[in-house]
Amino acid sequence: MVDLVIKIKGKIRRIGPGHPVFIIAEISANHGHDIKKAYKIIDATAKAGVDAIKLQTYTPDTITINSNKEYFQIKVNDAWKGQTLYDLYRKAYMPWGWQPKLKKYAESRGLICFSTPFDNTAVDFLEKINMSIYKVASFEVVDIPLLKKIGQTKKPVIISRGMSSLPELKLAIKTLKENGCPSVAILHCISSYPAEYKEMNLKTIPDLIKKFRTVVGISDHSPGVTVPISSVALGASIIEKHIILSRKEGGPDAAFSLEPDEFKNLVNSVRNTESALGNPSYGAGVKESENIVFRKSLFVVEDIRKGQKFTPQNIRSIRPGHGLEPKYYNRVIGKRSGVDLEKGTPLKLKHIATSD
């Protein structure tokens, strides 16, 4: 498996198994067309210990057209339905003039900043501001001309697989790589807003790892932090989740976004989870070793005189573990003691008479 390698200002960040989980906070529409709010989101993201902040680069005119025809009317997703695509994206898009400023500010806060382009002009724009990595949204997996354009940047790509069939996903990755993309990470994603737990099928994560032999993660639109934390135990190397200053603000993405304190909890829980996963291990660990003494062992539970036989009445397997291991019990019973033994003495092999 090839790591996803990001190069930023001469520094290299490797993403994949054996490296810390790469955690991405997605601003999406949660800036509310207020750049001051966008800066506050970046501050909150950095404070939460997140690795990267992600933007989206489109305008309503680059992603759709202004039409009231039935084709363009949204009839699903409670937060979006009842409006046209153009109206939704007019509310949600981030002005392109903000993006160089936000990128510079995010990097000053120690964050990696990158974006999802939705058409060729967006790719050209992002190249001018030196994006080091690209994201492909789940809805754009089938936009082969756009994938060719992104691949030609020769930058690593993170692609969300939401809704895509295996043939579609294979074609998307093939297109990116054939056009120069050095490495592709796949995010398992349910493109439902918000997504329900019963839809998540997190076992897809290890299956993607097996099928594609690449870095795999999750882009999560479910409420809370259960899904992304669980995904780490299944092999996810990347987590992407929306961030909002307060869900009370509302907006297209509020229902499945995390507030700053929740995001911090997510980061801490992920770090604890990856620490707990560790590596295959048997026997006593460092902290366990001090408790070995509390395992059972063979003890004298009645006074025994020299020459007396060991019996179930005077020898028992009890805690603590200073005597012989219990596996010696059947070897000991019926043998004679070579010495006088007081009740409470841990039994040793040297206490057994060498001959009857």
Residue 259, burial from CB neighbour count under 10 angstroms (0-12, 13-18, 19+): middle
pLDDT of residue 8: 84
d(CA 137, CA 63): 12
pLDDT of residue 286: 81
Q: How far is CA 298 from CA 290, 294, 350, in A?
A: 19, 12, 13
Q: What tokens appear for 205 in the block?
A: 């994560």
Looking at per-residue pLDDT, the higher value among 26 and 285 belongs to 26
pLDDT tens string 236-246 = 999 999 999 99
pLDDT tens string 13-69 = 999 999 999 999 999 999 999 999 999 999 999 999 999 999 999 999 999 999 999
Per CATH, domain 4-58+93-277 is 3.50.50.60 = no
**Mean pLDDT of the region 271-300:** 90
pLDDT of residue 288: 84
Q: What tokens appear for 156 in the block?
A: 């690593």
Instruction: Give the pairing of strands 216-220 and 238-243.
Output: parallel
Judged by DSSP in three states, 44 sits in helix
pLDDT tens string 71-92 = 999 887 666 778 999 999 999 9
Residue 312 CB neighbours (<10 A): 9
d(CA 353, CA 356): 7
Counting Cα atoms < 13 Å in the Cβ hemisphere of 286 gives: 0
**Mean pLDDT of the region 183-196:** 92
User: C-alpha angle 29/224/18, rounded to 5°?
Assistant: 95
**Mean pLDDT of the region 188-198:** 91
pLDDT over 70 at 356, yes or no: no
Share of the chain above pLDDT 70, in %: 99
pLDDT tens string 118-163 = 999 999 999 999 999 999 999 999 999 999 999 999 999 999 999 9
Entry pTM: 0.89
DSSP annotation string for 61-114: HHH-----SGGGB--SSTTTTTSBHHHHHHHHPPPGGGHHHHHHHHHHTT-EEE
d(CA 116, CA 134): 6
CA 205 to chain centre: 10
Domain ranges of the chain: 4-58+93-277, 288-351
Runs of H (alpha helix) within the chain = 35-47, 60-63, 85-92, 99-108, 120-128, 144-151, 166-178, 204-212, 226-233, 260-277, 329-332
Indicate the CATH number for domain 288-351. Answer: 3.90.1210.10
Q: Would you say 157 and 131 are in contact if contact means Cβ atoms under 8 Å apart?
A: no
d(CA 242, CA 221): 8
pLDDT of residue 78: 66
